[in-house]
Amino acid sequence: MRVLRWLILPLLVVPLSWVLLTGFSVNPNEVPSALIGKPMPSFSLTTLDGTKLDSRALRGKPVMINFWASWCPPCVAEHSVLLDAQRRLGGRLQIVGVLYQDTAADARSFLATHGDPGYASLQDDDSRLALDFGVSGPPETYFVDAGGMVRGKQFGPLSAAALREQLARIGVSDS
Amino acid sequence: MLPSLGHVAILIGLAVSLYAAVAFVLGGRGRDAVLLATARQAMYAAFGLAFIACAAMVISLLTHDFSVAYIARNNATTTPPFYSIISLWAALEGSILFWTLLTLGWASLVLYRYRARHTALMPWVGMSLALVAVFLFSVMVWPGNPFSRITPVPLEGSGPNALLQNHPFMGLHPPLLYLGYTGLSVPFAFGIAALLTRRTDEEWLGVVRRWTIIPWIFLSLGIVAGAWWSYEVLGWGGYWAWDPVENAALLPWLTATAFIHSSMVAERRGTLKVWSMALVIATFVLTILGTFLTRSGVVQSVHSFTQSAIGPWFLGAIVLALGGSLALLLWRLPDLGDRGDPPRAVSRESAFLFNNVLFLGVTFVVLFGTLMPLIFQATGGQRISVGTPYYNGLNVPIFGALLFLMGVGPALPWGTASWRTVRERFTLPIVAAAGVLVAAVALGMRQPAPLLTLGLAGFVGTVMGDELLRGARSRARVRGEAPATALWHLATRNRRRYGGYVVHFGVLVMAIAVAISSTMARQTTVTLRPGQSATLAGYTLTHDRLVIEPLAEDARVTETRAEMTFAGPQSGTLATALRDYPNSTAAIATPAVRTALGEDLYVTLLSSDPKTGSVTVRVFVNPMVVWIWIGGAILGLGAAFAIWPDGRRIPAVLPAPEARRAEPAASVPAPVSATMEGS
């Protein structure tokens, strides 16, 4: 009995610390998405410069879809990461921006102020595409592999490290 | 300059609290009064240093010194002075600094007050408190330096979290909560001291009672203020969501409440000692767990600060505090044998025991629900969240039983209750409860939870009223005093008992208000063009106009405001708004709340169309919500009344327990109920 009593100690302390410890190993910005492992929703939308972009045209190469808005401060924060990504990886990775509840005029002036990465940004006026992807708020970024399957989702602004980790999932090495 | 001063104060604070911990141990072992005096002084000095660091932070906030990373992240040149000051506790590092100040405040108070008393216990009390201070200072020196600098210095900061600069309650709710949390380290320190010195008799319990109730008052008021803040600011029409961090504040409250009850039994009857000790330890560990959950970003919550390096430190503190104190408790278990008889089935002790079991039941339900998402994640499962139905489904019946015991317990005598006493005391209350139930059903109430609550409230209220009148009447007869005078004297001569009654009355008021407001609220969502009206529960709400303009006190904030007129049980005008802060992606709601004693009219703006001026609003009519806050205030006042010094000198050392146990104990053996003390 005496000895058994002492068993309380590890029985209480070990599981509790294990559970709490695993809490750290998980990135709270990585929210599971029902889309992961599923094909990317298809779309055909107008870009900021007025041309049409169809999702079928993106097949065969990894895609990164970035939902953003000019009114969203974290989007400013991640903008430099996006500029840099397009400059370095533009050949191997197709980046597509999607405006989230924003006007084309505001978006253009944002790009004029903070720099235009050069890739297309789509106008999603009735938020249909945002709904299809399940976007809760910008910035949110989805990573689609060459086969058109969604493999990763970033909730909140991208950092260089988060980008590297996500790109590895769709077979783009960023070293 | 000032930030450097603050940082240096923290460094010296760490050194002096380390010194205090060592000196308390050496002084306690060698009974060296001089060394112990220096240890106490070191703790006062640590308090002074924490104060200097806090002052340096507040002044730097007021002067918007953005060279400090914390200030650049949580302040802007446009932040009003009030919100600059309270930004001390609005984010991670600052709140730990504030926490340190409060912990050392409590520690200094206790060490000063008992500088010449309880000489065997105090060195170890001091050591425990000094170790808590060492931990907090270490956190600020290594992973969470509140004064860490950034270069280049930004010209403008990003401003406080939008949610936290929206309501003056931010100036009230966190300090109250923190005062509660930090104060609960005092009973823990006494518990550890009692275990270490093997003086686990009534001495520490007698001292600790007041030092538990005072933080308990702050914690209670902090929780109520938090619920109020959530109701006034978040715009969802409710006040309690079982959010992980609400739970984190509730958990130590539950165990502290259980301890306040069990320690009465331990002090008077010599039983429930292990139980009381375990509750003190649990309370302290739960306060750190609460901090951990809030500060580390482990759980998703409205309260979560950013994920940070502080988490592992708090995890270490939890493991050390829980493991260390539990090991100590197990080691000293033979000392904590019950001296008294096991409680009889129908007696005040057994009511207290059941009370403890139920409080612990709620604690487990809440703890399990809070940790469930983490447990799932740890076992490789998906991220899940535990919702209100789980908590309500399990807790409402337990709260009902607690309410029942609240009426039964105080009316039962210590020792054994005879069948006659039971019949005499409880016939009238049962009749009253039945009367209340019939009346409520006749008035059209059908839902079981509020009916149960009202019935129980009738029962408990009658027991208390009867008890009070009985006492007052007999005092009036014996002393020949006027009834009101007799009542006052009765209460002030037995503050502990009647203060407790007032607390119970406050709980009763809150229970009724919660039961009714949570089941009988009405709501609707309407879209109105200017001039259009909507009706709900006797109110007519008319949309007058939509205004979109920058806020007068901070032009960077845009306010979208619907101005409305309402008529019905209350009438007047209101404005409900959404505010867009530059550093927040989501607009922050500023709901309009019109409070009356009977019900609140609560209007939240959901969206608007600037072209047509039309708005979509959610309208709630919430009955009796104000009584939750009133009940909370009654509870706080009652507890303050219970511990108010009563003018008569309190003996520093309690009389020998044997002398007090001479009170009549019935000799008829009654069925023995299970004791919690185990083998």
Please give the full DSSP string across B540-602, using - where no structure is assigned. Answer: EEEEEEEEEEE-SS-TTSEEEEEEEEEESSS-EEEEEEEEE-TT-SSPEEE-EEEE-SSEEEE
**Nearest by Cα to B108 from B126, B132, B127:** B126
Q: Which residues of B touch A31 (CB under 8 A)?
A: 383
pLDDT, position B664: 41
Burial class (CB in 10 A: 0-12, 13-18, 19+), B497: middle
B-chain residue closest to A16, CA distance: B319
pLDDT of residue B113: 95
**Bridge partners (DSSP) listed for residue B536:** B539
CA distance B298 to chain A (A): 5
Question: Which chain B residues have a beta carbon less than 8 Å from that of A5?
Answer: 330, 333
Q: B397-438, pLDDT tens digit by residue?
A: 999 999 999 988 888 888 777 888 888 888 999 999 999 999
What the block records as the tokens of A29 is 């910005």
Is pLDDT of B665 > 50? no
**Residue B534: alpha-carbon gap to chain centroid:** 39
User: Where in chain A does DSSP place strands (E)?
Assistant: 44-46, 52-54, 63-68, 94-99, 121-122, 140-144, 150-155
pLDDT number for residue B295: 65
Single pTM value for the model? 0.82
Which residue ranges of chain A lie beneath pLDDT 70?
1-2, 23-33, 175
CB nearest B330 (choices: A6, A22, A137): A6
Quick one: pLDDT band at residue B28, thresholds 50, 70, 90? Answer: very high
Interchain proximity A9–B323, CB inside 8 Å: yes
Q: Check residue A173 and give its pLDDT.
A: 83
Q: What is the pLDDT of residues B570-590, one digit of tens each?
A: 999 999 998 888 766 667 888
Q: Which chain B positions have a beta carbon within 8 Å of A73's beta carbon? A: 158, 582-585
Sort out which chain A residues have CB atoms less than 8 A from B292's CB and list them.
20
Q: Determine the angle formed by the axes of helices B273-296 and B348-378, rounding to 10 degrees.
A: 30
Higher pLDDT, B223 or B271: B223
Q: Does residue B105 carry a pLDDT above 90? A: yes
CA of B377 to nearest chain A CA: how many angstroms apart? 8
Q: B328 at the A interface (CB within 8 A)?
A: no
ipTM of this complex: 0.72
B81-97 confidence digits (pLDDT tens):
999 999 998 888 899 99
Distance CA B643, CA A96 (A): 66
Tokens of B122: 């105090």
pLDDT, tens digit (0-9, with 9 covering 90-100), for B190-246: 999 999 999 988 889 989 988 999 999 999 999 999 999 989 888 888 899 888 888
pLDDT of residue B444: 83
Across chain B, mean pLDDT equals 86
Measured between CB atoms, which of A9, A17, A19 is closest to B326?
A: A9
CB contact under 8 A, B586 and A137: yes
Give the pLDDT of residue B261. Answer: 92
Least confident of B292-306, B537-551, B649-663: B649-663
Range of weakest confidence among B327-341, B468-482, B509-523 = B327-341
**Chain A residues near any Cβ of chain B (below 8 Å):** 1, 5-6, 8-9, 12-13, 16-24, 26-28, 31-32, 72-74, 137-138
Asked if residue B144 lies in contact with residue B104, where contact means CB atoms within 8 angstroms, the answer is no
- Between CA B660 and CA B655 the distance in angstroms is 7
The pLDDT score that the predictor gives to residue A139 is 86
Say whether pLDDT at B648 is over 70. Answer: no
Residue B380 pLDDT greater than 70, yes or no: no
pLDDT computed for residue B671 by the predictor: 38
Contact: A17, B319; criterion CB under 8 Å: yes
Lowest mean pLDDT among B43-57, B123-137, B377-391, B600-614: B377-391
Angle, alpha carbons A40-A45-A50 (nearest 5°): 145
Residue of A13, A22, A27 with shortest CB distance to B319:
A13
Query: What is the reported pLDDT for B583?
Result: 67
